[in-house]
Amino acid sequence: MRPVLRGTRTAPIQSREGRTSEGVGVSDVRFADDPGFDFAIRCILNAVPYGAAEVGEVLATAADLDGPSVDAFHDAWTARGRAVRAVAEACERDGHRESAAMAHLRAANYLSAAVWYVLGTSVPERAPTAWREHRDSWEAVVRTWPTPAERLAIPFEGTALDGDLFSPAGAGDAPRPLVVLMQGLDAPISDAMMTGLRDAVLRGYRALAFDGPGQGSAIYEHGLPARPDWEVVVGAVLDHALARPGIDPERVALVGVAHSGHLAARAAAFEPRVRALVLDPGVMRVVDGTLGQFPGEVVERFRAGDREGFDAALARAQEGSAELRFTDLKTREPWGLATPLFDALTGLASMDLAGIAGRVACPALVLDPDDAEGWPGQSKEVAAALGGPVRLERFTAQEGASLDCEILAPQVRNQRIFDWLDQTLGRDS
């Protein structure tokens, strides 16, 4: 779960019923004047209950930012991540495995915050190096984690998808239910720690997180761009997972976050081995969450299929707008930065559940937070379109669980998800 690209908000947020939530809930607590930086800090703080952030470290870093620039934000979180990584490495050398694991986890989270903005800095070409630095910390988490954890190489179309499988202590090869966690296209695999990985393991599930096409190592190291047919991707993941001992093939759940609120539903529509589906949020049309970040003329030219007019309108809009140039790069990143923006948007537009959602027959839980900004209203639309039994789960500003992905309320979110999964799949005693 990463910050949604956005400009300064000029009107109150609208809740699901159309009333404003201004003055109510967490959306009025500000951690930075810039809305993007504010949401990024919320993403980092979201990890506190799972040991992937420390409140004092986060607030000290935010307070110490040298101005509001993207370079300052990137540099501050890189410095914090490196400092915590040094602690982790010292703990590991001294044999303090659990201390090392938790410090590596915080370092991975802080470095991922820096990576998210690296394309907007004055040196965007350092993105692959910055990403690898973050990934090294995450791989150290897997290496030092106190309960069973292992890295996976999942065969996929002549290469491999990188994944990680975490299991409960003492599980051995006993069959356990499996939760497959899918993050947004622009989110790191380390986000899985707070989107369900630790909760799953504590409840006796095995948890698998992976980078699919367009994500993390798949795009940075294997050159696999984003694609719409994630039933192929999830099929390969399940082929690999279910060939291993210790996984109950009758109890497989798929949890999709952000863009994967679409991709997971698409996969479940064609993949009968998925027995339970969680969407946070439900996403009917992925491109809607991106087009709103571009000026009206650019959107109109795209909708009209006018590539030449689109490129001209985009060039005019980007003059003097570093924010819009950054949005352009972030949109293209999962498709490869050499991909023209028009083509990247066309790829996102192909991610549409119309005519597909009704094929999802397994039970589904669709999360619907107040004040959603990425795909407002689409959770309800998806829930109405799915073909199997559906529960639409509302999260409110009053309980502190508003905004995209119920940011700042991960325990509220995960409690409801896993209570539902326990009931749907049957929890091991």
Of 27-36, 231-240, 284-293, 381-390, minimum mean pLDDT range = 27-36
**pLDDT(10) > 70:** no
The residue-averaged pLDDT of 399-408 equals 91
Instruction: Tell whether the model's pLDDT for residue 321 goes beyond 70.
Output: yes
256 contacts 262 by C-beta, under 8 angstroms: yes
Q: What does the pLDDT average to over 339-363?
A: 98
Least confident of 62-66, 70-74, 301-305: 62-66
Q: What is the mean pLDDT of the chain?
A: 92
Give me the domains of the chain, ranges plus CATH numbers. Answer: 26-144 (1.20.1440), 147-286+351-429 (3.40.50.1820), 290-348 (no CATH)
Q: Which residues pair with 163 in a beta bridge?
A: 152, 210
Q: What is the mean pLDDT of residues 296-325?
A: 96
- Residue closest to 242 by CA, chosen among 198, 183, 177: 177
Rounded to the nearest 10 degrees, the angle between the axes of helix 307-318 and helix 296-303 is 170
What's the mean pLDDT in 209-220?
97
**165: its two tokens:** 């499988």
pLDDT at 320: 86
Model confidence at 195, pLDDT cuts 50, 70, 90, reads very high
Task: Output the pLDDT for position 25.
Answer: 57
Question: Can you tell me the distance from the alpha carbon of 266 to that of 141, in angstroms, rounded to the nearest whole number?
Answer: 31
pTM over 0.75: yes
The model's pLDDT over 236-271, given as tens digits with 9 standing for 90+, comes to 999 999 999 999 999 999 999 999 999 999 999 999
Q: For 288-307, give one letter per residue: b (16+ CB within 10 A) or e.
A: bbbbbbbeeebbebbeeeee
Flag whether pLDDT at 380 surpasses 70: yes
**What residue type is assigned to position 195 of the chain?**
T
**Per-residue model confidence (pLDDT) at position 30:** 73
The model's confidence at residue 66, banded by pLDDT at 50, 70 and 90, is low
pLDDT at 357 > cutoff 80: yes
